[in-house]
Structure 1
Amino acid sequence: MRNYMRILLFTLVVFSSLRLVSADDPSYDERPETHVVSTEGWNYERRIVDIEMRDGVTLHTVIIVPKGAMNSPILLTRTPYSAEAMTSYATSGDMRAILHGFGNVADLIVDGGYIRVIQDIRGTNGSDGSFVMNRPLVSNPYNSTDVDESTDAYDTIEWLIKNIPETNGNVGIMGMSYNGFEALMALVNPHPALKVAVPVDPMVDGWRGDDWFHNGAFRQMTISSIYSSSASRGGDSSFVWSTPERYEAFLREGSLKAMANRYGMEQSGFWRKLTDHEAYDDFWQSQAMDLVLAKEPLKVPVMLVSSLWDQEDLYGGYAVYRALEPKDTANDMVFLSLGPWSHGQSMADDASSLGNIKWGHNTSVWWQKNVLAPFLAYHLKGEAAHIAPVTVFQSGTNEWQQHITWPETSTVKKLYMKPDRTLEFTPASGAEKTVDYISDPAYPVPFIDRPITFEDYSQWTTWLTTDQRNAATRPDVITFTSEVLADAIAVAGVPVVNLTASTSGTDSDWVVKLIDVYPDEVPSDNNMAGYQFPIAMEIFRGRYRETISEARPLTADKPLTYTFELPKVNHVFKPGHRLMVQVQSSWFPLYDRNPQKFVPTIFFASEGDYKKATQKIVVSGERPSYINLPVIK
């Protein structure tokens, strides 16, 4: 009888939504004005609300409550990527199915009995208000309003704990990429109900090493996403490439200025910010989340999750850890997870490999089960758990490690580049010598093998692990290689480049790569024979050698020292392998070309500004080039 009454009620609702007109009426439409789907048998309830912020703006919010939930904690994500899309991966009555995708870790959420809440941030998708890329705090001079992402997180949590009767009042915030930035912002003046935060591969510093720049070199591959997110308020602008092959598309424009003009990029407020703040000035420094949070007290436990081969936000997560860890004297507030992942792969269903590199087990599932799930359960449900302050994957051995802090005690050893293009831990003797090459902006070094089309998206997600042998064959890439290792070398931490070099121009980029060269024979996998596996690679724009806050020309033909960090590593170079270092002056089209002639703003360089230059790397004498390796004994 109960089922009969439900069916009858459902039928009445459907028919009441139909327009009662005859088929020959011009306004007749067989579709209901509102289609009502039966939720009979569903294991969750979906609630759609528009939560009002302190300034009256409402934010579109999707709440997924497990059927029968009682005293359940809330897992919140705030996003520009569409709350509706992130909770509609299938038309299904199964909660696990609708959450299956984009950082939702559906199994963890469903098995843990969490209430899932996803909210569109201001000015995106279903939310009102205006969108500002990485909106600064209200205390920041670049924010003239009384609201920011921190206040919106606070107001949202306040509403949730008062209006979801099934919750126990504990809220965790979690998200990756831009959503990870939102999780970090919630830590500024956090709501008392916020018990834990998990920023995954978060956007932290757009100049030092995340989305927009790396050490001053502009990541021009982001131009299409900048265009699509900020060219129109509807977010419906599509960037149409002149040709599908990205290397050719950028090169044929002649300059980034010409491309930007063709697409009307100057109409975008965020693009104007990029071009106005090419150096690491107060605009970037005041918004860098590691610097912001370093000034805040530790109030909420946070687990920073960072991927060792993150193609998008390689810098941020570990930068926040370095800023906060010294304040955590009890080792119970700041946690770090480093995994062998691409951007956001820690939240995926399968991370047993990355490109051609195999890890021997499903690293994402292992981490979700053994680290993330118990960490959230401890802080949100009070379940007993012991989580090490640091969980880090060691490539080479392909093993997980646990530490109190990271890196553990290491010895800095100088790995010298030598005149015969070898690598050794002892410097070359004798007078100053150089290894030279010609850098020609008309023929820049591709960052991966061409054609670069991204029709297969893995071409993007795996590029940081791709074989570097093609680069090694170019005359404008200088390669230094060690002897075959008799003993293993374990490195953990941040390698630091000390490159002494000159250029015949007045500006230059320097790209340095630390590479693990596999043996000539790998019986277990012939594809890996001789493979040049990049462990850490980074670019540095020469105009910021003296200070990153101001561009200054280089003195032509004068050897100068460039000191910069490579990304974090936790790797073992095994016996039978070799160490390799590659040096080059372009990395295209991932990064914009340096004209190699100083211009005030490279964004506005014209085609005629791009010049060939002779590059000379000093490899002996008083100031030889080397990399400081953090070697574990």
Structure 2
Amino acid sequence: MKVHILIVFIFFFIFGNSQSSKESNFVKDNFTKKEVYIKMRDGVQLFTAIYIPKDISGKNKYPVLMQRTCYSIAPYGENEYKTKLGPNDYLMKDKYIFVYQDVRGRYMSEGTFTNMTPQVSHTGNKNVDESTDTYDTIEWLIKNIQYNNGKVGQFGTSYPGFYTAVGTLSQHPALVASSPQAPISDFWNDDFLHNGKFMMGYFRTFPVFGVQKTKPEKTAWYTDSMIKPTSEDGLKFYKDMGTLKDGYEKYYKDNFFMTEIMNHPNYDEFWQKRSLLPHLKNISHAVMTVGGWYDAEDLSGPLNIYKTIEKNSPKAKNTIVMGPFSHGGWSREMGKHFHNDIYFGDSIATYYQKNIETKFFNHYLKGNTKQDAGLPEALMYDTGSKEWKEFSTYPPKNVQKVNFYLANNTLKNTAGSGFSEYYSDPDNPVPSSSNLRDFNGFTPRNYMSEDQRFATGRPDVITFTTDILTEDITLAGEIMAKLNIASTSTDADFAVKLIDVYPEDFVPLEKRDGIIYGNYHQMVRSEIMPARFRNSREKGEALIPNQKTAVNFRLQDVMHTFKKGHKIQIQISSTWFPLFSVNPQKFLNNPNMATKVDYTKAFIKVFEDSSIEVEVLK
């Protein structure tokens, strides 16, 4: 298997087992493929593949269902056909005019690639962005594909999810349905950064995003820059690499995207203009945003996009779906659905595809656009009770804010007056997983629900746990960490984990071989926050040694029932390696450029008036 095909398989989420020849021939038997260059308003031409149903006619018109991507629309050639079209097989067999397009600067399209293309003012023909490219593409399709029904939908997962989300801003009258799936909303909190903290677990992905092509390409041109594993122990690679600065200088000095990240440690204009969220206004068509509770790459994106559209575009028919999936996992059926060691049920992806996704597109593209599709406003999978729940608003209105105070290794209803203390050494960071093979991957996934017992008891991890629960408690919505800390040094990160501790005699309905489920410490949610950004993301600010300081930040949302007989636990540490780069714990204007000389050991206190604020479903 060629390297670029392997990369596409691993990272671009082309899921599913090999198909029978009968299934593989469905596309070729039922569609005619055309390849065209579509000219944008500034003259740049974007390469586009169009699959047109063979039975299309004046009496049998079809809508357009489009995906724009930076991940290749292969196979190329009008006699070379994809084996699957659209977001699922049901929609493929219902038949649409399926359209795939390479975005600017990628594969066969002209132009220069930009990560998270900034939105611009649309005052002239030379002012272009992804929304204008979406508009111009739709305009060409409507005018040039005979017997289309005048309606267009769009879909995409991960980066194509971003192109779908930004495409909602095109304002083309033919665009009636958009489904951004695992979309990026703001790189400051998606994929490469969390609250501005560099996600080291993405280190191997940078050739995909930071090497410009110099000519039209039908295959990946960046494979020579890929870092190949040399050991099953993926942690060894990161330990041998040294600091983030060492890794950058050794592997990615010529990588334009890595250089941009290294040179912009603060939420400055570079990052601000790449945020999609401020622009999500005046959307009036149907939008269904989809995400996974165990999406290690883009969990905040779907939540933030849905909430922003809900707030700023009241005319939009706005829906959100969050399931027990990893990144893009809803696009393939697993049968018995596991994430890492945890079983969630059977045929969950099929339920979503058949009853939600297909209904959404068929209704708005083939039915009465003015009527509601009859979907719930929010379809959220409860990862503790293992069931779908429907809500008329999200976050749900029928919740009560509750503070769990961090006192003396317990979670309490009231604040205490003391503190807990731990010792943090950047040279001996807390591991982010016990699965050493996982560190060799393109992006981390399993850690999102992994057993956290490997971290318990370390001197650089403090733990707070409830008594055994006497009744179920459902956390539904947003989580806020409200920490009051003090450090002997001038900088620190704070990693907070929300954990479901299973009963000692727990036996799951379905299990993985070799896993001890009794007393399993399942991570439910987590996040990291650099203390330097506690007051402003735009400018880092040093800690004053030994001074009590508030560090408040949001964890990503949750929908999880902690069952009777379980416990709720919070773990806090200041390193989380190699998932995230190590904070030197000495304040620097640019911590990305820290050297080993800057590494500073510290004693860190977490005061007992610190709390984790959650929303409990009534």
Letter in structure 2 aligned against 1:569: V
SS class of match (1:491): strand
Q: Pick which of 562-571 and 376-385 moved more.
A: 376-385
Q: Are the aligned partners of 1:492 and 1:569 in contact in 2 as well (CA < 8 Å)?
A: yes
Query: 1:464 and 2:464 equivalent?
Result: no
Return closer, same or farther for 1:260/1:413 CA change in 2, 3 Å cut-off. same
Letter in 2 for 1:618: F
Q: 1:367 to 1:501 in 2, by over 3 A?
A: same
Report deviation, 1:83: 0.5
1:242–1:66: structure 2 CA closer, same or farther, 3 Å change rule? Answer: closer
Equivalent pair of 1:138/1:145 in contact (CA under 8 Å): no
| Alpha-carbon distance in 1 for matches of 2:68, 2:606 | 47
The 5 A counterparts of 1:188-227 are 188-207=169-188, 209-227=189-207
Say if 2:159 is the partner of 1:178.
yes
Structure 1 stretch displaced more, 237-246 or 509-518: 237-246
Instruction: Decide whether the 8 Å contact of 2:46 with 2:109 is kept in 1.
Output: yes
Q: What residue in structure 2 maps to residue 344 of structure 1?
A: 328
Counterparts of residues 83-102 of structure 1 (less than 5 Å):
83-85=73-75, 98-99=83-84
The question of 1:598 aligning with 2:587 is answered: yes
The 3 A distance-change label for structure 1 pair 328 and 155 is closer
- Give the total of aligned pairs: 573
Distance 1:329 1:52 in 2: 33
**Letter in structure 2 aligned against 1:505:** S
SS at match of 1:554: coil
* Offset at residue 91 of structure 1 (A): 7.4
* Alpha-carbon offset, residue 279 of structure 1: 1.1
Assess if the C-alpha contact under 8 Å between 1:76 and 1:172 holds in 2: yes
Alpha-carbon distance change, 453 to 401 in structure 1, aligned in 2, over 3 angstroms: closer
Distance 1:493 1:177 in 2: 22
Q: Using the TM superposition, give the Cα deviation of residue 241 of structure 1 relative to its aligned residue in structure 2, in angstroms.
A: 5.2
The letter for the 2-side match of 1:225 is T
Aligned position for 2:477: 493
CA distance in 1, matches of 2:525, 2:444: 17
Correspondence for 1:433 among 415, 418, 425: 418
Report how far residue 328 of structure 1 moved.
Answer: 5.2
Letter of the 1:563 counterpart:
N
Q: What SS does the corresponding residue of 1:555 show, helix, strand or coil?
A: coil
Pair 557,40 (structure 1): closer, same or farther in 2 beyond 3 Å: closer
Q: Which residue in the other structure is 1:480 paired with?
A: 464
State the AA in 1 paired with 2:92.
Answer: V
Cα displacement string for residues 178-221 of structure 1 (whole angstroms, at most 9, x for unaligned residues): 101101111223211111110001011101x2012111211123
Query: How far is the alpha carbon of 1:454 from its aligned partner?
Result: 5.0
Distance 1:215 1:203, change over 3 A: same
Q: Secondary structure at the match of 1:469?
A: coil
546-555 or 250-259, which deviates more = 250-259
1:62 aligned partner, one-letter code: A
Provide the residue aligned with 1:553 in structure 2: 542
With structure 2 as the length reference, what TM-score do the two structures score? 0.88
Over the matched positions of the two proteins, sequence identity in percent amounts to 34
Q: CA deviation at 1:117?
A: 0.8
CA–CA distance in structure 2, aligned partners of residues 91 and 528 of structure 1:
48
Q: Which moved more, 1:188-197 or 1:105-114?
A: 105-114
In 1, Cα distance between the equivalents of 2:334 and 2:148?
31
Larger CA deviation: 47-56 vs 343-352: 343-352
Match of 2:3 in 1: none
* Alpha carbons of structure 1 residues 236 and 54: separation in structure 2 relative to 1, 3 Å: farther
Task: Write the deviation string for residues 227-254 of structure 1: whole angstroms up to 9, x where unpaired.
Answer: 3432342434323258444422222232
Aligned to 1:80: 70
Question: Do 1:44 and 1:65's aligned partners in 2 also have CA atoms closer than 8 Å?
Answer: yes
Is the 2:480–2:554 contact (alpha carbons within 8 Å) kept by the matching residues of 1? yes
- 2:384 corresponding residue in structure 1: 396
Q: Does 1:124 align with 2:106?
A: yes
Cα separation, 1, equivalents of 2:173 and 2:494? 47
Secondary structure, aligned partner of 2:37: strand
Query: Which residue, 491, 506, 509 being the options, matches 1:522?
Result: 506
- The whole-number CA distance in structure 2 between the counterparts of 1:436 and 1:202 is 38
User: Structure 1 residues 416, 334: closer, same or farther in 2, change over 3 A?
Assistant: same
- Alignment partner for residue 394 of structure 2, among 378, 383, 406? 406
1:51-94 Cα offsets, whole Å, 9 max, x none, are 12122221111112232133111110000110015999x977xx
Quick check: 1:393–1:401 contact (8 Å CA) kept in 2?
A: yes
How many angstroms apart in 2 are the aligned matches of 1:72 and 1:369?
Answer: 20
Q: C-alpha separation between the residues in 2 aligned to 1:303 and 1:275? A: 35
CA contact (8 A) 1:228 1:237 kept: no
The match for 1:112 among 87, 91, 94 is 94
| Counterpart residue type for residue 504 of structure 2 | D
Distance 2:130 2:329 in 1: 25
**Does 1:585 find its partner at 2:570?**
no
1:333 correspondence with 2:317: yes
Please say if residues 112 and 212 of structure 2, whose CA atoms lie closer than 8 Å, have aligned partners that are also in contact: no
Deviation at 1:512, TM superposition (A): 0.5
For 1:242 and 1:370, how far apart are their aligned partners in 2?
A: 41
Residue of structure 1 equivalent to 2:344: 359
| Residue pairs, 1:433-452, within 5 angstroms | 433-452=418-437
Alignment map for 1:14-93 (pairs within 5 Å):
42-69=29-56, 70-85=60-75
Determine the C-alpha separation between the residues in 2 that align with 1:238 and 1:560. Answer: 43
2:616 equivalent to 1:631: yes
TM norm structure 1: 0.86
Q: Give the root-mean-square deviation of aligned CA atoms.
A: 2.6
The residue type equivalent to 1:481 in the other structure is T
Unaligned runs of 5+ in 2: 1-24, 214-220
The CA distance in 1 between the partners of 2:27 and 2:200, in whole Å, is 50
Aligned counterpart in structure 2 of residue 608 of structure 1, from 597, 605, 614? 597
Question: Following TM superposition, by how much is the alpha carbon of 1:617 offset from its aligned partner in structure 2, in angstroms?
Answer: 1.2
How far off is 1:151 after superposition? 1.1
Structure 2: which amino acid aligns with 1:44? F
1:497-527 alpha-carbon deviations (Å, 9 max, x no partner): 1111111110000000111111101234574
Over residues 307-356 of structure 1, what are the superposed CA-to-partner deviations in whole Å (9 max), with x where a residue is unaligned? 111110111111112212134556x6211111111111122223722111
Q: 1:535 aligns with which of 524, 531, 556?
A: 524
> Per-residue deviation at 1:570?
0.8
Cα shift at 1:464: 0.3
Counterpart-to-counterpart distance in 1, 2:194 and 2:324: 21
User: Which residue of 249, 254, 268 maps to 1:261?
Assistant: 249
Alignment partner of 1:279 is 2:266: yes
Please tell me the residue identity of whatever aligns with 1:496: M
Are the equivalent residues in 2 in contact too, given 1:521–1:529 (CA < 8 A)?
yes
Give the conservation status (yes or no) of the 8 Å contact 1:337–1:391: yes
The answer on whether the counterparts of 2:385 and 2:561 sit within 8 Å (CA) in structure 1 is yes
| Structure 1 residue 450, shift from structure 2 partner | 4.3
1:594: how far off? 0.2
